[in-house]
Structure 1
Amino acid sequence: MPRYFFDVHIDRKVQRDDTGTDLATLEEVRKTAQRLLPDLAREKIPYGGDQRAIVVVTNEESHPVYAASLNYAGLWLIR
C-alpha cells in the first residue's frame, strides 16, 4: 500500500509529516487532506486576522500528488 505524507503550511511555516500514512487510493488521499483542514482552522490558525492553511500531499518519491487549502478571514465586530 502506498505511503503519503501530509505537510501543513500555515503563515510561511511548514510542519513536515515525517511519518506518513498508508492509503490505498488517491480518493483516500483527497478525503484525508480535506479532513485535516477543519482541525487546522480550530487548532493551528491564530486568533484574528486572515490566514491560509495548505496541506500538500506527497508520495514516497516526494512528488506532490494533491493540495488542499483553507482560507480563513476573522474580524472582530466589537471591541
Structure 2
Amino acid sequence: MPRYFFDIHDGHFQRDEDGTECADFEAARREAMIVLPDIARWVIPTDGDRQTYTVIIRDEGGVPVYTATLTFTGLRLNDTEG
C-alpha cells in the first residue's frame, strides 16, 4: 500500500515524518476529512474566535497531492457581560 504523509497546520506547522499507509488516494483524502474535525476539537483558538486548520497530504515522493481546510469562526452577538 502507498504511504501518505499528513502535515498539519493549526497555527503551528507539524510535519508528518512517519506517514500512514492508505489503500489509495481516495482513502488518504477521506482520512484528511476525518482528521480535521478531530484536530479542531482539541486545538482551541487562543487569539480570539478564528482558527484555520489545514491538512496537506504528501505522497511517498514528498509531493503535495491534496489539501483540505476547516475554519472555525465565532462571533459574539451581544456586548453585555452577564
**TM-score class, shorter:** 0.7 to 0.9
Alignment of 1:22-41 (within 5 A): 22-41=21-40
Q: How many angstroms apart in 1 are the aligned matches of 2:4 and 2:63?
A: 10
Identity level (%): 46
1:74 CA displacement: 1.6
Q: How many residues align?
A: 78
CA RMSD across the alignment = 1.5
**2:3 aligned residue:** 3
1:10 CA displacement: 1.5
1:44 CA displacement: 1.4
Larger radius of gyration: 2
1:75 CA displacement: 2.7
**1:73 aligned residue:** 73
Task: Please give the secondary structure, in 1, of the residue aligned with 2:62.
Answer: coil
Structure 1 runs (4+) greater than 4 angstroms displaced: none
Normalising by structure 2, what TM-score? Answer: 0.84
Structure 2's unaligned 5+ residue stretches are none
Higher strand proportion (structure 1 or 2): 1
